[in-house]
Amino acid sequence: MSKTATKPKKAPAKGKADEGSHVPIFVMGKRYDVPASLTIQKALEYAGYQLVRGCGCRGGICGACGTVFRFPDSYRIEVGLACQTVVQPDMYIAQIPFFPGNKAVYDIETLPAEGGTIAALYPEVFKCVGCGTCTRSCPMDIDVLGYISKAIQGDIRAVAEGSFDCVMCGLCAARCPAEEVQYNIAVLARRLYARHLVPKAAHVAKAVQAIEGGTFAKALQELKKKNVDELKKLYKALETEPDMAEDSWTPKDRSFLGD
Ligand code: SF4
Ligand code: SF4
Ligand code: FES
């Protein structure tokens, strides 16, 4: 599973800035002049803010950096991920690092994998008015309204597949007039789908069996005896899988594969 399958979308182009030049941005109403090439996240740091919340992977995957912004000549509220969105002149910026959304509590093991389960845990799903604000707010270009419609229909698989690239940034929920928490509804569907509906992956079961059977125990013991410098050296020398490797690819040195 790769959350990078869909690239986060960028902010719409506004005024142009020369490369190497600075642009004014406004953070909590205060003006800062920052290099035009920076992302919002880097610009905040350039302006002197220390990011202890609302910052995680810095790569468009964790969803921690949901950000709202607006330009003075427009009524529109724009949204984006701070680690992916490049600053633009006169951007007024506010971050929503955590959105206090409704989150159902359940035991996924005993939860029935049937359509009604989503509605039972999140009955507010029926309040959706179909406005599409969630889809327009999504920095991952997900058809959020589409998967919420499938949730209303009780189609667990469609919700799971339609929401696969969700990074749980909370921007859709922040703007939903029906107070849906789309990403928690989606994660319920993905859990139900993965736990009860999708066939078990044979290769994973095989790998778990190998681990439990002690196949890697000797190699692990050897690693545990090494000091930090030895581990670093080993790590640097590690043969990595090429980007376009065949499924059958294995490293030349198989000593840590438990052969
Ligand atoms: S923003 Fe809320 S009400 Fe509007 S389409 Fe999305 S889920 Fe429905
Ligand atoms: S579906 Fe909502 S929470 Fe998920 S990435 Fe899109 S806006 Fe963020
Ligand atoms: S810091 Fe993880 S998505 Fe931006």
Q: For ligand 1, which residues put their CB under 6 angstroms from it?
A: 128-134, 144-145, 148, 176-178, 180, 182
Report the separation in Å between the CA atom of 63 and the middle of ligand 2, taken as the mean of its atom positions: 8
pLDDT average, residue stretch 4-8:
49
The closest ligand to the CA of 170 turns out to be 2
Q: Write the residue with the smallest CA distance to atom 3 of ligand 3.
A: 60
Ligand 2 atom index nearest CA of 147: 1
The closest ligand to the CA of 150 turns out to be 1
Which of 6, 61, 179, 183 is the best mutation target for the ligand 2 pocket, counting ligand atoms within 8 Å of the beta carbon and taking the most? 183
The closest ligand to the CA of 171 turns out to be 2
Ligand 2 atom index nearest CA of 137: 7
What's the mean pLDDT when you consider all of the chain?
91
Residue 70 reports pLDDT greater than 90? yes
pLDDT average, residue stretch 231-235:
93
Q: Are 124 and 178 in contact (CB under 8 A)?
A: yes
Residue 97 reports pLDDT greater than 90? no
Ligand 2 atom index nearest CA of 79: 7
Q: Write the residue with the smallest CA distance to atom 4 of ligand 1.
A: 131
Q: Write the residue with the smallest CA distance to atom 6 of ligand 2.
A: 138
Q: For ligand 3, which residues put their CB under 6 angstroms from it?
A: 55-58, 60-65, 81-83, 167
**How is the beta sheet containing 66-70 ordered, strand by strand?**
30-35, 22-27, 91-95, 66-70, 78-81
Q: At 5, is the pLDDT very low, low, confident or very high (cuts 50, 70, 90)?
A: very low
Report the separation in Å between the CA atom of 101 and the middle of ligand 3, taken as the mean of its atom positions: 19
The number of angstroms, rounded, from the C-alpha of 145 to the middle of its chain's C-alpha atoms is 18
pLDDT average, residue stretch 166-179:
96
What is residue 3's predicted lDDT score, i.e. its pLDDT? 40
Report the separation in Å between the CA atom of 84 and the middle of ligand 3, taken as the mean of its atom positions: 8
Q: Long-range contacts made by residues 140-145, C-beta under 8 angstroms, separation at least 24?
A: 140/6, 140/8, 140/9, 140/165, 140/166, 140/167, 140/169, 141/6, 141/8, 141/9, 142/6, 142/166, 144/172, 144/182
204 three-state secondary structure? helix
Q: What is the pLDDT of residues 180-198, one digit of tens each?
A: 999 999 999 999 999 999 9
Report the separation in Å between the CA atom of 7 and the middle of ligand 3, taken as the mean of its atom positions: 12
66 three-state secondary structure? strand
Q: What is the pLDDT of residues 21-39, one digit of tens each?
A: 999 999 988 999 999 999 9
Distance, CA of 86 to CA of 130 (rounded, Å): 30
Show the domains of the chain with their CATH numbers. Answer: 19-95 (3.10.20.30), 99-225 (1.10.1060)
Residue 129 reports pLDDT greater than 50? yes
Strands of 9-154 (E only): list them. Answer: 22-27, 30-35, 66-70, 78-81, 91-95
